[in-house]
Chain A
Amino acid sequence: MSHSVHSLLLIAAMAAVTFFTRALPFLLFDHGKEPPQIVLRLSRTLPSAIMAMLVVYCLRELTFAAPGGWVPALTACLLVVALQWWKNNDLLSILGGTACYMALLHWFG
């Protein structure tokens, strides 16, 4: 089998599996039937748990051996939380936090 055909097969497999994982809940629970209580409860509480999980996942590369490994990211995170808490402006919080992070990276770099 040629190299290109094999590459195409791998890409098709990745596309199919990715779509399958995204479609699964719709295939199981979207036919007019009310999903079971346990599923409803999960859909109410899981989003906040997952959002916290994704924040930690984004910060997975932090290291604590030197200040440069954690101060920029954690400081920027605190700024984002503070801005969002008091000002409630998504864009301001994100731009402010990112600018702070880039400046601190430069400073510690």
Chain B
Amino acid sequence: MNRQLLAFAARATIPVMMGYLPLGAAFGLLMAAADYGPLWVVLMSVIIYAGSGQILGVSLLAAGASVGQTALLTLVLNFRQVVYGLSMLDKFRGMGWRKPYMIFALTDETYALLTGATVPPGVDEHDFFFAVAALNHGYWILGSLLGSLMGALVGSIPQGVEFAMTALFLVIAVSQWKGTRDHVPALLGLGVTVVSRMIFGAKNSMLLGALAILVVVLALRRQSQRGEVQI
């Protein structure tokens, strides 16, 4: 892995870093409040690596939930990630020993970056993907460790930095919009999720409802949009 590749990957992952450091720190702080030290925090960030999943995990640990309960809630919360893999089947093909890691590290944000990323010329695509995934994982571990260590000492994370995550998703949505003439999926995603938010409230279940409807509608939609550009 050469220096040029790392520079490209570091630049591409800056928005994720700005999101993962404060979010990871928030997770570390919550764990500290539940009396779980840095070793626990790092263990979870290394082997689970899921933002909302780990934050849910804090309350499950603190409440001493059963293994079955924990597995079921994690499954429901993470179910949207099943569909991420579909658009990565081709991208990850031929990645050899790095492929299991790529699948493991396929978070919302890494998925978003890999979907939208243009690989710089002269850089091997698979090396670039791997560097992006590993850097994001590193930011997450580092953020959670910092949150855990500093605990109450630092007090608060600068307010509003987490908007970088929203901006990242928006930037990719705009690029996707410009890359296709078929705007139905994006508009449908927007509309269905707004309605789902109004029905389910600001909880994770809003994603499940929206996702189920989107998969069914898009699967049943008639094919052959002429002039469609592959994205």
Contact = CB atoms under 8 A, between A and B. Distances in A.
B65 A54 contact: no
A52 B190 contact: yes
Interface in A38-54: 38-39, 41-54
Contacts of A72: 160
Contacts of A47: 87, 115, 176, 231
Given A10-B67, A18-B48, A22-B106, A52 B186 contact: yes
Contacts of B158: 102
A25 B88 CA distance: 9
B74 A13 contact: yes
A81 to B, nearest CB: 6
Contacts of A109: 159
Nearest to A49: B189
Interface residues on A, range: 35 or more
A35 to B, nearest CB: 7
A13 B73 CA distance: 11
Given A21-B78, A46-B185, A97 B167 contact: yes
Contact of B185 (A26, A37, A39, A45): A45
Contact of B74 (A18, A60, A91): A18
Contacts of A16: 71
What is the predominant secondary structure among interface residues of chain A facing chain B? helix
Contact of A14 (B70, B164, B165, B182): B70
Interface of A: 3, 6-7, 9-11, 13-26, 29-30, 35, 37-39, 41-61, 72-73, 76-77, 80-81, 84-85, 90-91, 93-95, 97-98, 101-102, 105-106, 109
Interface of B: 11, 14-15, 18, 36, 40, 43-44, 47-50, 53-54, 57, 60-61, 64-65, 67, 70-71, 74-75, 78-89, 92-93, 103-104, 106, 108, 112, 115-116, 158-161, 163-178, 180, 182, 184-190, 192-194, 197, 202, 206-207, 210-211, 214-215, 218-219, 221, 223, 228, 230-231
Given A22-B84, A46-B83, A55-B169, 18 more contacts: A10-B57, A11-B43, A11-B47, A14-B70, A16-B71, A25-B89, A26-B89, A26-B92, A41-B221, A45-B185, A46-B87, A47-B87, A47-B231, A49-B189, A51-B173, A52-B190, A77-B170, A93-B167
